[in-house]
Every structure is written in structure tokens, then in C-alpha cells.
Amino acid sequence: MSQGPALLWCPFPDEEEARQVATQLLDERLIGCANLISGMVSLYEWQGGRGEASEVGVLFKTDQLLVPTLIDRLEHLHSYDTPSITAWDADASSQATAEWLGSLLNSGAANEQG
């Protein structure tokens, strides 16, 4: 049973890696869609210093029940030692979107969760 749509945000060092990871997650049916946003500049504070990097942001669309597994997979597939991963439940969506993302639970890796 679906709990509803969820969104997950994660930056990548380049489009090639973002595309490879998104394709893998699609193949595993952990996401229904990945929007790659190129040309992003990240200004950040990390480990006591400030930095700047060109990155590709990815917005993943999934079902809330898949978020923990999706986070685990992203941590494994991502080239960063500690990728920045943020997820949130979509409080509102069209019924068609909710059904589409909920359908991820009916096959693939989702069935392995029980």
C-alpha cells in the first residue's frame, strides 16, 4: 500500500554520474523519475571550510515507502563519501501522480521489502 509521493534531492559532481545513478535507480524501480538540473553552482560550508563547486542537482520522484531504501542505494552508488541527500513527503499531488509513484511498490526492488 502506497503512503503517497515523496521527493528526494541530491547533487552530483557531473551529469554523467547523475545520469548513471538515475538510470540504475529506474532499473531497480526505486524511482519513477529523475529530473537532472545542470549548471548548478553550490556554495557550501563543509568540515570547517567554505567551498564552491559546479554540480548537477537531481530531483528524484518516488513513493514514501521507498525513501529509506532509496537513501541507502544513493549512499552506495554516489561517488561522494558523504553525499547530501534530503527527502520530504509530498503533501499534495494529483491522483494520477500518486498512483504512478505508488505503482513502483508493485514490482522490482519494492517487493523485496515485504
Residue 45 CB burial class (10 angstroms; 0-12, 13-18, ≥19): exposed
Domains of the chain in start order, with CATH, are 5-107 (3.30.70.120)
Mean pLDDT rounded to a whole number for the chain: 93
Residue 108 is predicted with a pLDDT of 54
Please report the sign of the dihedral spanned by the C-alpha atoms of residue 102, residue 109, residue 33, residue 67: positive
Between 21 and 110, where is the model more confident?
Answer: 21
* Confidence band for 114, pLDDT divided at 50, 70 and 90: very low
* Confidence band for 67, pLDDT divided at 50, 70 and 90: very high
| pLDDT tens digits, 79-89 | 999 999 999 99
CA atoms within 13 A on the CB side of 96: 0
**Smallest Cα–Cα separation from 100: which of 69, 61, 59, 58?**
61
- pTM to 2 decimal places: 0.90
User: What is the rounded end-to-end Cα distance, in angstroms, of the chain?
Assistant: 11
Q: Which of 15-19, 89-93, 110-114 has the highest mean pLDDT?
A: 15-19
Output the CA angle 69-73-74, nearest 5 degrees.
115
Rounded CA-CA distance 2/82 in Å is 29
* Confidence band for 106, pLDDT divided at 50, 70 and 90: confident
| pLDDT tens digits, 43-65 | 999 999 999 999 999 999 999 99
